[in-house]
Amino acid sequence: MNPAPQPQPADVHTASPEYAARFSGAAGRWMLSLQERIVLRQLAPCAGGTVLDVGGGHGQLALPLADRGWDVTVLGSGPDAQSGAVRAAAAAGRLRYATGDLLAIPYPDRAFDAVLCFRLLTHCDEWPRLAAELCRVARRAVIVDYPTGQSLNCITPALFGAKKRIEGNTRTYTLFPHRTLAGAFAAHGFRRTALDKQFFLPMVLHRLLKSPPLSRLAEFPFRVLGLTALLGSPAIARFERSATP
């Protein structure tokens, strides 16, 4: 009897050309630029330090950070969990790409000033174990993104079929209450010190609009009224080590 096929690691999919296509075009670049600005702001206290991007072979953050002079290491589950752009950057010495078990990160405690984990937590069945490892190897801060049900994502189950028809390669994912993640990181000595919401409207709508000016216009009233800060998603959260002996 042939063994059952093993599921593909989440970071292999997010490093694929098919996944990158979801962020192609003007709308995709606009969405990624907002993510990048938030992360750069949240990383500011660690300026000049080392960064580990766990599951970051998609290059959404590793590449712009490397371009800005950050000392970046990307950890992927295997050699196929990196995009062509990340592979080229590693070959040119702009960043380092390493492979290993993402649930048993092959680095010592507090090895990096900051640890990033984007497009991964929501697809990881053992996310508490992943969160524990992120905290273990971070000296100062962990920054993650996640979708939350405390937003319009609460209607995701009803719209998942339509979303998949539009995006083509949408996968199921976990919606996190903010309190749940805050509690998980607090259990490892990290407190949340920043929480930014990216959009009020579902990202699939912005992909349909294909126009950053229209997307900015659509998001503007919700941002001004404070609804994005209250009910936006995905969230980007920074957790800092409560005390560094």
Least confident of 63-72, 88-97, 148-157: 148-157
Contacts of 163-167 with CB under 8 Å at 24 or more apart are 163/202, 163/204, 166/204, 166/207, 166/208, 167/22, 167/204, 167/207
Whether 102 is in a domain gets the answer yes
Examine the pLDDT at 41 and tell me if it is beyond 60. yes
Mean pLDDT of 139-157: 81
pLDDT at 79: 96
The CATH number of residue 56's host domain is 3.40.50.150
The helix/strand/coil state of 75 is strand
Whether 72 is in a domain gets the answer yes
pLDDT at 120: 95
Whether 211 is in a domain gets the answer no
Whether 222 is in a domain gets the answer no
Q: What value, to the nearest 5°, has the Cα angle with vertex 144 and ends 20 and 157?
A: 70
pLDDT at 245: 47
DSSP classification of residue 118? -
Distance CA 244, CA 94 (A): 30
Structural domain containing residue 118: 10-146+174-198+234-240
Cis amide linkage into residue 234, ω under 30° from 0: yes
For residue 159, give Cα distances in angstroms to 78, 152, 214.
33, 11, 22
- Tokens (6 digits) for 36: 């990048």
Count: domains in the chain = 1
Per-residue confidence band for 161, with pLDDT thresholds at 50, 70 and 90: low
pLDDT at 5: 45
Count of C-beta atoms within a 10 Å radius of residue 196: 20
Whether 151 is in a domain gets the answer no
Whether 209 is in a domain gets the answer no
Whether 14 is in a domain gets the answer yes
**Strand spans (E) along the chain:** 50-54, 71-76, 96-99, 112-117, 138-146, 190-199, 233-241
Tens digit of each residue's pLDDT (9 = 90 or more) over 71-127 = 999 999 999 999 999 999 999 999 999 999 999 999 999 999 999 999 999 999 999
pLDDT at 168: 53
Per-residue confidence band for 240, with pLDDT thresholds at 50, 70 and 90: very high
User: How many residues would you count in the chain?
Assistant: 245
Whether 118 is in a domain gets the answer yes
The helix/strand/coil state of 54 is strand
Examine the pLDDT at 3 and tell me if it is beyond 50. no
* pTM, full prediction: 0.90
Inter-residue contact 154 to 177 (CB < 8 Å): no
Tens digit of each residue's pLDDT (9 = 90 or more) over 163-222 = 555 555 555 678 999 999 999 999 999 999 999 999 999 888 898 999 999 999 999 999
The helix/strand/coil state of 207 is helix
